[in-house]
Every structure is written in structure tokens, then in C-alpha cells.
A = this chain, B = another copy of it.
Amino acid sequence: MNQTCIRDVSKHVGQEVTIKGWLYNSRSSGKLMFPQIRDGSGIIQGVVFKKNVPERVWSDFEKLTQESSIIVRGNVRADERAPGGFELDVVDVEVVQIAEPFPITPKEHGVEFLMDNRHLWLRSKRQHAILSVRAEVIRAVRDFFDSNGFLLMDTPIFTPAACEGTTTLFEVDYFEDAKAYLTQSGQLYNEATAAAFGKVYCFGPTFRAEKSKTRRHLTEFWMVEPEVAYAELNDVMDLAEQFLTFIVQRVLENRRKELAELERDTSKLEKIAPPFPRLQYDDAVKMLQEAHDKGELEARFEWGGDFGAPDETYLSSQFDRPVMVHRYPTAVKAFYMKPDPERPELAMCVDVLASEGYGEVIGGGQRADDLEYLLKQIHAHGLPEESFDWYLDLRKYGTFPHGGFGMGIERCTTWLCGIEHIRETIPFPRMLYRLKP
């Protein structure tokens, strides 16, 4: 295609280029017009001099509406005063279509309206920035694992049984009255592939039919889950801090412009480096109780429960980098967690709380590798043993210590972008009352 991306105009200074895109915005001062042209890779300001272009070109530009599709020919000029550092001296334009009045204008719109028009809202600078950060996070995730000896092993979306309880499962009719459930985690399958490949990760959409309508929940979200054979809890924590640091560095390296567009305070991200503080649950509880005593937390947290949002916010605000809370009570964690040999009432698990109050981004730990213990747990949790026969096989045929974690892509992106709501971090969010477009 005889076409230059706006991203690449710096390589074409002094040359004539053809840009294929849309009119983002335009202002005029009688004899001069400044159309802002976007092509998906960036935005460049055009300069149309009435006296330098044929009359048709001038009148075509006068007719253009926001989002009209155009093919523009012009000369690239470096100009420090221009928004991107370059301007385009327009020579010619081909109007592909004059757009109908675009529903999203610079005025404020309600969130529901924007969500109904998500397919058009995506064209805004802010959504462009957020979703570019998302793509960078995913690229960093893959590069990290691919270059550290992990093999991608996709786990199934259709599963025959619930992994962590049935109340939040989406059910699917699977031929002739069979039922399938949409995966909530690739974890159990990862344990089988780790036994075959040593170091594996899965990466795909996961589903939770949660009726909660909070700014941290999607019904469909993407999760990456590594699993490592012969890894113990400390290895899992080492991996988590290296992994998260790598992602932050990558986003800082490659998405500065986008973070600036979002007015993200990057100084807080720049501080993130290993080691992350490691805080035993017991000590976290003490911190929360002291905070309550000092009047800094409304409710008193009691040992034995899982943290609520205000607790996580408080804990993470005590540190300048993500904090790893480990060894929660076995009772509040999933059935497959390995109990601490020294204190069996604690699970060998870890939650990583992002900094700045963004809460849990990673959850993981070491898995129970003992057949008898797992059987007991499956019964205690009221799970159907026959659904786990293949999983229990992994403890019969060469069981081994192993562990891993899961990270939600959208929660991580929300945090790195420093934004309020998770719904902007995925192109087409799915929530309790949101299935369209």
C-alpha cells in the first residue's frame, strides 16, 4: 500500500506522503485550515493554505465532518510547536466518505451513553492510550514467559466441572443435554501440563458469573497463569516480583506517551523493583488492627477472614511497591492450596497487592501434592470426587511440589494506567448488565 503511518512520519521529513485515515478535529482562520488527521497509529496536524491548494481541495476540507474518512497527500515538516512534533503541508485530499454527525463530541457524555457507543468511543485519545497500555502488558507477559523457558499451554474454556465452587459459573448447553461450564481458571489443567513440560503458562479469557457491580469486576476477563514444577512458595514469590517488575518496566519503556495522555504519575511506577515486601498474613492482621486502634481504619479486622477493599487499600498504602501477603488461613482459600507443614491452619499462598491502593493483582501459591490431603479437602468442600479423578491422577503418578499464580490483565492495566474503573481496560467490556455492543 502506498501509505505512510502517522507513527512513522518522523522518517519522512521533507517528503511527500499519503495518509489514509479520518478527520479527528479541525479549526480554520479564513485562509488557513488546521485539520487534525488520525489513522489509528497517531494524530498529525495538517495545514491547508487556501492560496496553495486547488479550490476543490479547500472546499472539500470545508465540508468534512468529524470522523469523515479521507486520504490526504502532503509534505511532512518538523515543527516543534506542533502537538506531535510534525505537521503535514496538505497538497491534496480524497474524500472517501463525509461522516454523519458523530455522536461523541468534545462535550461530556454519561458513562452509559459512552458504553452503548463503545464501538465509536474507542476512537478517543483516552481509550487509545488505555488499550495501547493493555496490549503492551500482554506483550510483556508473553515475552517474559517465552524468554524464561515457559511453554504456552492453552487450557480449555469448556470444563466439565467447577474448579472453585459452582455459584459463579456460567453454564453452557453442550450437545444432547450435556452441560459444560466456562472456565474460571486454568490452574488445575496447568498442573497437568506442568507435569509434562516443567514450566508452563496459560493465557486466555476466564469467566465469573458474579452478581457484583463494582469498579473491579468484569464477567469476562483475561488471565495469565504460570505453573512451575518443583517450585515452592518462595519460588512463586520470586517469580511474581520479577514478572510484575518486568511488566512495569516494559510499559514505562514503550508507553510513556500514552501514560502522559492519561496524566499518570509515573514516578510511583518507577520505584517498583524487587524485592517486594513480604508480609505474613498474621503480621498484616496486626497492622490492620493497629490502624484501627489509631483511628485510621473504621472496621476492626479479625484474624481468620479475607481482606476487604479498605483493608487492602490500607496495607498497600504502607509501601512504595507492591506487597506480597502470604500464608492466609487455609479456611478462606481454595481446596488445592498446600498447608504450611509447620502450621497447617495456614495455606502456602500469596496475594500480591498492587501499590497505590489498587488491591490484589496476583493470587497464587504452592499446591497440595499429597493425594490423601486433597481427597479430604475435596470432601470437606463438598466437591464431586468423580469430577476430579484426572486431577487426583497427578498425585498418583509422580507427584511433586509445584506452584504458580494468576494475574488478571485488566486489573493490572487499571493499576498501571492509574484509572478508576476496570471497564475501560478491555475493548468490549462484559458486566452484569452489559452485553452490548
Which A residues have a C-beta under 8 Å from some C-beta of B? 1, 3, 5, 7, 20-23, 39-41, 67-69, 71, 96-97, 99-100, 102, 117, 119-120, 122-123, 127-128, 131-132, 135, 138-139, 142, 146, 149, 151-160, 170-175, 178, 180, 182, 189, 192-200, 204-205, 207, 209, 211, 219-220, 222, 229-231, 235, 390-391, 393-394, 396-401, 426-428, 430, 432-433, 435-437
Contact = CB atoms under 8 A, between A and B. Distances in A.
Given A149-B7, A398-B99, A123 B196 contact: yes
Contact of A152 (B138, B156, B399): B138
B170 A435 contact: no
Nearest to A97: B399
A398 B22 contact: yes
Contacts of A211: 175
A341 to B, nearest CB: 15
A94 to B, nearest CB: 11
A196 B160 contact: no
Assembly stoichiometry (copies): 2
A170 B170 contact: no
A102 B196 CA distance: 14
A20 B199 CA distance: 12
A157 B196 CA distance: 29
A396 B100 contact: yes
A198 B41 contact: yes
Contacts of A138: 152
A205 B123 CA distance: 26
A192 B230 contact: no
B122 A192 contact: yes
Contact of A160 (B23, B151, B390, B435): B435
A1 B230 contact: yes
Q: Which of A40, A67, A102, A146 neighbours the largest number of chain B CB atoms within 10 Å of its CB?
A: A40
